[in-house]
Chains A and B, each alone.
Chain A
Amino acid sequence: DAGITQSPRHKVTETGTPVTLRCHQTENHRYMYWYRQDPGHGLRLIHYSYGVKDTDKGEVSDGYSVSRSKTEDFLLTLESATSSQTSVYFCAISAGEGGEAFFGQGTRLTVV
């Protein structure tokens, strides 16, 4: 999976609790992305990063925050998880400048 590791792979959490998902890359790519995948919606961009401490919102960013303190790590935090955030979350990386996007294996998050 192009040197991308997502953790955890599965998580069940309770409504209202904070949750952090981690994406780690070994490719030294500049761009990192968080997507969520839901039936009937395909993949939707939550947040992306174009460098250390440089992040921006995607199309479904409400309720999510991100941080990137190192090139290799991109964290996605659900401040207070809700049932609507039950989804499969994918991290992707890209070298930019026409480079392809490579995806991790995903994290299945269930909010009960």
Chain B
Amino acid sequence: QQQVKQSPQSLIVQKGGISIINCAYENTAFDYFPWYQQFPGKGPALLIAIRPDVSEKKEGRFTISFNKSAKQFSLHIMDSQPGDSATYFCAARVNSGGYQKVTFGTGTKLQVIP
């Protein structure tokens, strides 16, 4: 059962363009939605995150848009650069008795071409 669905699986964007990755979730108990960035040979690293009481969060060129009623959220990378080429994972977290259970999407491999 895939509780967090991520699309597309891969994405090619021209340098300077906008990269958009979408995720949808089912469990309304999720209370935190992080995005992770992973470079080859490295572990995932937190990129940006949002809580469901906020519709948008921006950090530099990275923006999360959140639609609580539709149970969807997306990552926008503005002015995409070759250095942004990586795999991106959306995730959703629920707290249960102090334990945090994080469910990951299946990942999007982004390639930004010059």
> Contact residues of A with B, CB < 8 Å?
1, 4, 31, 40-45, 48, 50, 90, 92, 94, 96-106
Contact = CB atoms under 8 A, between A and B. Distances in A.
A90 B6 CA distance: 20
Given A41-B106, A42-B89, A42-B107, A96 B43 contact: no
Interface stretch (B13-21, B52-60, B96-104): B96-104
B46 A43 contact: no
B104 A105 contact: no
A23 B34 CA distance: 23
A90 B43 contact: yes
Given A42-B6, A43-B89, A100-B46, 18 more contacts: A31-B99, A31-B100, A40-B9, A41-B106, A42-B104, A42-B105, A43-B104, A45-B102, A96-B98, A96-B99, A96-B100, A98-B32, A100-B34, A101-B102, A103-B36, A103-B43, A104-B43, A106-B42
A97 B98 contact: yes
Interface of B: 6, 9, 32, 34, 36, 41-46, 49, 89, 95, 98-102, 104-107
B88 to A, nearest CB: 11
A50 B102 contact: no
Contacts of A96: 98-100
Contacts, number: 53
Contacts of B107: 42
A105 B99 contact: no
A41 B89 CA distance: 11
- Most A-side CB within 10 Å, residue of B43, B98, B104, B107: B43
Contacts of A105: 41-43
Given A1-B43, A90-B43, A104-B43, A50 B106 contact: no
Nearest to A100: B46
Contact of B106 (A42, A94, A100, A104): A42
